Structure 1
Amino acid sequence: MPHNRLVHIVDDDEGVRRSVAFMLKLANFRTESYASGEEFLKAARTAVRGSVLLDVRMPGMNGLEVQAEMRSSGIDMPVVILTGHGEIDIAVKALRAGALHFIEKPYEKEILIAALEEANARLDRSYDRDMKASEAQLRLASLTPRERDVLNGLVEGHPNKMIAYSLGISPRTVEIHRANLMARLRVRSLSEALRVAFIADGGGDVPEAD
């Protein structure tokens, strides 16, 4: 049976909920909206399965806490996290907790829709990784030592400035390495690059560069 293209929007900002719901409707998604993590969790136990677009910063339960409760309650829905710009540490925690993608605000429409398309597609099959560890390791092997250093920093949740300081290079150089490593890994977003790293190491940290 084809997936139902349902997205559960969890965000305390009514304006965000309305604008995202309108945008997704135009992209042929159905939506349900919730003003808090608590409201979503209460409804999710009996709700139709769909993907979850989850804001990480909300009063009451934050997005990471909602994720944790979903796991402990057996609520099996793929999650896409919305984070503020530069909140790499939070994004890494969300990915480690099982989120499929994270999207930084302000988000691009095409990136958000692509992430939700993938999340909804997961509902049609078992949650096996699309990429085997061996393939991910081969992709990582294509990186230069410096690109691996930068990726290691990103996996630790460090922002560009902190990575630059620890490596003794400029933030602009870190940005260049980020762009290059994403091209070598054949990914379109930082969340996809981090997933390659996690898969290569069985869900752990990126192996140290030689």
Structure 2
Amino acid sequence: MPHNLVHLVDDEEEVRASTAFLLESHGFAVKSWKSGRAFVNAAPRAQAGCVLLDMRMPEMDGLEVQKRIRELDLDMPVIMFTGHGDVGSAVTAMRAGAVTFLEKPPERDALVQAVRDALKRLDVTEGKEADEQHARRLVAKLSERERDVLNALTRGLPNKFIAYDLEISPRTVEIHRANLMAKLGVRSLSDALRIAFAAGLASDSLQHLNGNHRLSRARD
């Protein structure tokens, strides 16, 4: 039977209530938790499901909860709720295995689709290798400079820092960013990052990026 349970972890009661109502209206079962620690303490005995997790919570934040989920070896895909300006932390969460991140307040359709995608991970036991191969094929379509920009995005760098590191203008970064997202067939940063991580692009070192960009400046 397909999984449909969402563990909603957020310290704000109003957010828990409104989000639970929305998800339940789309047929999902929701178990709400008022703190990261409360969820972590119960997680080993909790029913399998995905975790909709707030990044910023007192006592134990979203990244720490995600870390504990991994340490407990629980098969619970994570969707991270972030506030404005938390992109760097969201990238860290995705590098650690989060399915995606959504900025508060999330769009209804984006939230529902993210939950569906996360729950599918519980229903599918095969195909990870095929997903990695598909991601590598997509990344292989990128130019060297587009891969440099994508690699920098996996580190949570904003456009102006990428421009400084690659010694190009912020406008050129924007163009490369738009082109790489078109080639990857995605419309959001989180989707682009998911492909990059699946392809192993983030394992390239920053020093490697710095050493290569001067060789390709003449191509810009």
Normalising by structure 1, what TM-score? 0.88
RMSD of aligned residue pairs (Cα, Å) = 2.3
What letter matches 1:72 in structure 2? E
Report the CA distance between 1:170 and its aligned residue: 4.7
Q: Write the letter of the residue equivalent to 1:115.
A: A
For the pair 1:32 / 2:28, whether they are aligned, the reply is: no
Moved more, 131-140 or 46-55: 131-140
Tell me if the contact between 2:11 and 2:57 (Cα under 8 Å) persists in the aligned partners.
Answer: yes
Q: CA deviation at 1:171?
A: 4.1
**Residue matched to 1:10:** 9
Q: Secondary structure of 1:65's match?
A: helix
Q: Following the alignment from structure 1 to structure 2, what is the Cα–Cα distance between the partners of residues 170 and 118?
A: 36
Deviation at residue 115 of structure 1 after TM alignment: 0.9
Q: Percent identity, aligned pairs only?
A: 54
**Range that drifts further, 152-161 or 50-59:** 152-161
1:23-66 Cα distance to aligned partner (Å, 9 max, x none):
11111111111111001112222221111000111101111111
Larger CA Rg, structure 1 vs 2: 2
Structure 2 distance, partners of 1:65, 1:108, is: 25
* Whole-Å separation in 2 of the counterparts to 1:153 and 1:128: 28
Alpha-carbon spacing, 1:10–1:156, altered in 2? closer, same or farther (3 Å) = same
Provide the rounded CA distance (Å) in 2 between the counterparts of 1:44 and 1:130: 28
Q: 1:133 to 1:124 in 2, by over 3 A?
A: closer
Query: What is residue 81 of structure 1 aligned with on the other side?
Result: 80
Query: Could you list the runs of 5+ residues in structure 1 that have no partner in the other structure?
Result: none
Contact 2:154 2:202 (C-alpha < 8 Å) held by counterparts: no
Range that drifts further, 17-26 or 139-148: 139-148
Contact 2:75 2:122 in 1 (8 A): no
**Structure 2 residue aligned with 1:177:** 176
State how many pairs are aligned: 209
Tell me if the contact between 2:151 and 2:202 (Cα under 8 Å) persists in the aligned partners.
no
